[in-house]
Amino acid sequence: MTEARNSDMDNVQKVRSLLREAGTKMRAHGVEPIDVALGSIYAGFDHAESATGYGIPAVEWLRTVCDVLEKSIIEGAPRSQS
């Protein structure tokens, strides 16, 4: 189970890295960081719908993800730099 979880997190980090690169390129072309962030959230919602179902299930899943993220920040998890 741990090996599968590590593989999942490796995939998550690969996707995160790719999306961060895309955001950096967009900012280089004059897109404001807040617009990159908002567009990324909406795109994340699109992907969440594909994974969890349309509408409310995706919103609830994103809320859970935000709760986990908040907990990790409060606990002092290392942060990536933009």
Task: Decide: helix, strand or coil at residue 32.
Answer: coil
The pLDDT, as a whole number, for residue 3 is: 66
**Sign of the Cα pseudo-torsion (65, 51, 18, 9, in order):** positive
The pLDDT, as a whole number, for residue 82 is: 53
- Token pair, residue 75, equals 């606990």
Cβ atoms of 61 and 52 within 8 Å: the answer is: yes
The pLDDT, as a whole number, for residue 4 is: 64
Distance CA 30, CA 63 (A): 30
User: What's the pTM value of the predicted model, to 2 decimals?
Assistant: 0.80
- Average pLDDT for runs of 10 along the chain of length 82: 73 94 98 97 97 97 96 89 58
